[in-house]
Amino acid sequence: MIKLLKIDELDNGTERFCTQLQIGMGIASFIREKDGDVKFYDNGKNGFGFYKYDKPYKIVENLSDMKMQPL
């Protein structure tokens, strides 16, 4: 299971998340749109973009919760 830390929210309500390896870089490789779908940034069949993420994940509230993420 991957842990995600919220880094900010866009004006349209889309939440942006980073993984443990991206903390402090300002990079959001995961988003959650207003409809609740979580998507990740990848090079898929339509090129680079956000694609639906169906694997287990956990949204954490602080950095200390991120430290226990298995790599």
Q: For 21-56, what is each residue's pLDDT tens digit?
A: 666 666 788 999 989 999 999 998 889 999 999 999
Kindly tell me if the per-residue pLDDT of 69 is higher than 60: no
Question: Are 15 and 9 a contacting pair, CB within 8 Å?
Answer: yes
Asked, for residue 51, whether it belongs to a domain, the answer is: yes
Using 50, 70 and 90 to split pLDDT, how confident is the model at 2?
A: confident
Domain count across the chain? 1
The residue that leads in pLDDT, 20 or 7, is 7
Asked, for residue 50, whether it belongs to a domain, the answer is: yes
Asked, for residue 69, whether it belongs to a domain, the answer is: no
Using 50, 70 and 90 to split pLDDT, how confident is the model at 59?
A: very high
Structural domain including 36 reads 2-63
Asked, for residue 38, whether it belongs to a domain, the answer is: yes
